[in-house]
Amino acid sequence: MDVLSYTAFNQQVDYQKQIREKEACYRSIVETKLASSGGGTQITALAWLCEIEPCLLWKPVQWSGTSPECPQFWDCIPTGDGWTNDLKVCDPNGYYRCGYNCTWCVPPGVTCARFQLWGSGGGSGSARSFSDSMFGSTGAYASAIVKVTPGQCYCLCSGCAYCCYSTAGGQGRIPGCPTYVQDGHSTFCFFCAEGGDGTLHSWTGNTGKCSTYRIGVACCPESGGCLCENGMHVCNGQVCAICQGPIEFVAGSMYNGCIHCGSWAGDSQALKEGNAIVYGIRGSWPRFCYNNSKYGWSVHPPIYGFELCTQCCTQWDSGTCCAYPFCSAWQSSCMRVPGAGGWETHSWGSDGVCADAGRMGMVCLQWKCT
């Protein structure tokens, strides 16, 4: 190893150490806060912004230690109470992947509403001989509780994942479209949940690796199969040892937006309850591990509101898995959940193994009189 490479390696080790120390610090602060407050909506907006969100932005899925496993800190997002009516906006056609939109006008007497957004999921990629294409990335999630005025109208748009399936080798990995709410900028500003990422290059780039053309843990940048055909799948012709982690859930797509100052200005109780900001959870890439023999497993990320039913786990040691039609939401009942990524594909010698589309976005709306 030459001097420059050695120096770069030492810098990378130092950066990884700093990241681990910061993550441990944030985790300690948050756990102390949760213990003293009781969790849930007791967490203030300031505590979320300063202590919890930095953890989730770095690593959106953190385990609480329960069985079955549920993500930690997600229950700190305020849910409100006393809701009297609700509305769901998502693909009504039974394909579970298309977009939909409608306009909701605030009924007489209604003064408060909660908007929840799930961005549509990213698709998986089709596979060629001896290759894998893991689950697609999930869409981001966002939530906001705001004051509303009777007669005011909101455009609710749930994102489209993709309205077709890729059946030829080397195709797929379509990023999901965002889900958003618009109201003429009197309540929200750029309020949306982005759709799941597309190419696998986005995944490996987010792991902090210097070799983003290979699938592997950050500390072993040259391990794993190569990304082929613009990040559609992983070629396994020359696989180096990879199961040194495994690769944990990695943050993906982002949520955006803010609430205009006038919505809760001067309302100390609302601020205490956390109803002053947009809360959210980034989209995620799956857990993944395989070895020199090309045997492996993958776990789909949990999704807010559907935490337990979305952690699908697949494993393989041979054979071929074609996501469409066997594991698509339209042709089967696999993960008919908003924001889910397309089902994985795995090939042991065939060509043109079919990819799967991500799942639709969704808007959930609840309202009440106060």
pTM above threshold 0.75 = yes
88 and 64 housed in the same domain? no
Beta partners for residue 314, in sequence order: 298
What ranges make up the beta strands (E) of the chain?
85-89, 100-105, 112-118, 131-133, 141-147, 153-158, 179-182, 188-193, 226-228, 233-235, 250-251, 255-259, 279-281, 284-285, 287-290, 296-299, 313-316, 345-347, 362-368
34 pLDDT higher than 90: no
9 pLDDT higher than 80: no
271 pLDDT higher than 80: no
Contact 96, 163 (CB under 8 A): no
pLDDT (average), residues 36-45:
54
Higher pLDDT, 34 or 361: 361
Average model confidence (pLDDT) for the chain?
Answer: 82
Band of residue 23 on the pLDDT scale cut at 50, 70, 90:
low
321 and 183 housed in the same domain? yes
Domain boundary residue, one of 60, 76, 92: 76
336 pLDDT higher than 60: yes
Query: What are the C-alpha distances in Å from 239 to residues 131, 216, 223, 262?
Result: 10, 10, 7, 57
The total number of structural domains that make up the chain: 2
H or E element, residue 274: none
195 and 310 housed in the same domain? yes
Domain boundary residue, one of 23, 51, 76: 76
43 and 182 housed in the same domain? no
Range of the domain at 23: 1-76
Task: Provide the pLDDT for residue 106.
Answer: 95
User: Measured between alpha carbons, how far is 6 from 211 in angstroms, rounded to an integer?
Assistant: 16
Q: What is the pLDDT of residues 341-352, one digit of tens each?
A: 999 888 877 777
Task: Provide the pLDDT for residue 17.
Answer: 61
Q: What is the pLDDT of residues 117-130, one digit of tens each?
A: 999 999 998 887 77
**Two tokens at 124?**
């998986």
What ranges make up the beta strands (E) of 106-263?
112-118, 131-133, 141-147, 153-158, 179-182, 188-193, 226-228, 233-235, 250-251, 255-259
Band of residue 35 on the pLDDT scale cut at 50, 70, 90:
very low
Range with the poorest average pLDDT among 117-121, 153-157, 274-278, 324-328: 324-328
Q: Is 182 exposed, middle or buried (0-12, 13-18, 19+ CB in 10 A)?
A: middle
89 and 25 housed in the same domain? no
pLDDT (average), residues 298-322:
87
267 pLDDT higher than 60: yes
198 and 156 housed in the same domain? yes
Q: What is the pLDDT of residues 186-223, one digit of tens each?
A: 789 899 999 999 889 888 888 777 777 888 777 777 77
Domain boundary residue, one of 76, 111, 137: 76
38 and 172 housed in the same domain? no
242 and 173 housed in the same domain? yes
Of 321, 153, 178, 199, whose CA–CA distance to 255 is shortest? Answer: 178
362 and 283 housed in the same domain? yes
200 and 52 housed in the same domain? no
Range with the poorest average pLDDT among 50-64, 113-127, 185-199, 261-275: 261-275
46 and 164 housed in the same domain? no
Q: Distance between alpha carbon 66 and the CA centroid of its chain, in Å?
A: 21
Higher pLDDT, 150 or 354: 150
66 and 49 housed in the same domain? yes
353 pLDDT higher than 60: yes
Band of residue 39 on the pLDDT scale cut at 50, 70, 90:
very low
Contact 27, 55 (CB under 8 A): yes
